[in-house]
Amino acid sequence: MTISAEAREFVRRRATDACEYCRLPATSSVLAHQVDHIIGRQHRGSDDLENLCLCCIHCNLKKGPNIASIDPQTRRITPLYHPRQHPWFRHFKLAEFHVIGLSAEGRATVELLDMNAEQRVQLRQVLVRRGWSP
């Protein structure tokens, strides 16, 4: 099964053209944001709209088929942030251009997706200067 063009357009609009994990706007990326399965097909995730999200290339490559990781604070196995089930601002905040995880899911996702890699922090600095906020 492939995701229809209509479904891709719906997901892009629903996400307001921003990565649903790191909130990077599509306009700031040379490589197009992608429609991704939150729960991958390997884990029997469906093509339903509720299992799809918009994802920047960086987050997509780092997430891969993962659905869980380790919370760096508790060292416990933790489900990843789920864009359809978890409000972003309850699980993350931006501080000094870094994405900070506020929950176990948030912390595990920040780590796995390497959201604070140097280039990503530098890009956020430029975006914030231009008036962007997550």
Check residue 92 for interaction with Zn ion (CB under 5 A): no
Site for Zn ion contains 53 (CB under 5 A): no
User: By rule CB under 5 A, what string of x and - marks binding of each residue 5-44 to Zn ion?
Assistant: --------------x-xx-x--------------------
- 35 vs 59, beta carbon nearer Zn ion: 59
Among 11, 53, 59, 123, binds Zn ion (CB under 5 A): 59
DSSP string, 41-100: GGGT--SSGGGEEEE-HHHHHHHTT-SEEE-TTT--EEEPP-TTTS-HHHHEEEETTEEE
Residue 101, H or E segment: strand 98-101
Sites of contact with Zn ion (CB under 5 A):
19, 21-22, 24, 56, 59
